[in-house]
Homo-oligomer: A and B are copies of this chain.
Amino acid sequence: MDWSIQEIAKLAGTTSRTLRHYDDLGLLPPSRIGGNGYRYYDRAALVRLQRILLLRELGLGLPAIADVLAGQTGEARALEGHLGWLRHEQDRLARQVASVERTIEALEGGEEIMAKDMLDGFDHTQYREEVEERWGADAFAAGDRWWRGMRDDERAAWKERSAALGRDWAAAAESGVAPDSAEAQALAKRHVEWLTGIPGTPAGTPGGDVRAYVLGLGDMYVADPRFAANYGGEQGATFVRDALTVFAEANL
């Protein structure tokens, strides 16, 4: 007593294409092949198919299912391994959801409000995209809360400090000193200390990877004209990057 490929597909709730696929993989050969080439399946094949479909619904890949059916791997072991992967996926998804949510929030609510704060030279909100691109919407949100939480005079002081740093960098770059000179390295030290004052960045977060952050920043200064403008243009930014690189490799 056996069934045609369509019949068994309906019985098991799948398609004939799937059955041919499983045959191609050697996962479920037909119990009999007619002289006309037709595939026929018996009850044993149906039971096997149902196990396959069960495991597949649980998310196992076909090779893993093949191992289980071949007795190579215990069903429970295979499922536990799979469970680990599922949990990783859950974590990844949860992080991604949070990230997307924060990004939407920043896009919808934050942008106009922040735009009002954009004054002259330095305004960190100008760089939302860059910050999020490199260190996540988290970092931006933290930095933004910090910025908006300041009093006006505090903000002004911070801006002046930032602008002074930029001016000093530009001057040093123009003076022709080397990026590894004592003067440039002193500026680099000041720069890193300045960064440490910004919450949400690795430099402003205990345990953050300051070294990688600083190295990344250098590249960003060079790559983006809006940053570069703060340091005397592309040449200035290149100088800053080189000096930061030397500093980071020596001290971080």
Chain A interface (Cβ within 8 Å of chain B)?
Answer: 1, 10-11, 43, 46-47, 50-51, 53-54, 57-59, 75-76, 79-80, 82-83, 86-87, 89-90, 93-94, 96-97, 99-101, 103-104, 107-108, 129-130, 132-133, 219, 222-225, 234
Contact = CB atoms under 8 A, between A and B. Distances in A.
A76 B104 contact: yes
Contact of A94 (B11, B90, B100): B90
B86 A100 contact: yes
A82 B107 contact: no
30 contacts: A10-B219, A11-B219, A43-B225, A46-B223, A50-B129, A53-B133, A54-B133, A57-B99, A58-B99, A59-B96, A59-B100, A75-B107, A76-B104, A76-B107, A76-B108, A79-B103, A79-B104, A79-B107, A82-B100, A83-B100, A83-B104, A86-B93, A86-B96, A86-B97, A86-B100, A87-B97, A89-B93, A90-B90, A90-B94, A90-B97
A228 to B, nearest CB: 9
Contacts of A87: 97
A141 to B, nearest CB: 15
Q: How many copies does the complex hold?
A: 2
Contacts of A129: 50-51, 54
Nearest to A82: B100
A105 to B, nearest CB: 9
A10 B223 CA distance: 11
Contacts of A76: 104, 107-108
Nearest to A94: B90
| Residue from the set A57, A99, A100, A234 with the largest chain B CB neighbour count within 10 Å | A100
Contacts of A54: 129, 132-133
A169 to B, nearest CB: 19
B96 A93 contact: no
Contact of A96 (B11, B58, B225): B58
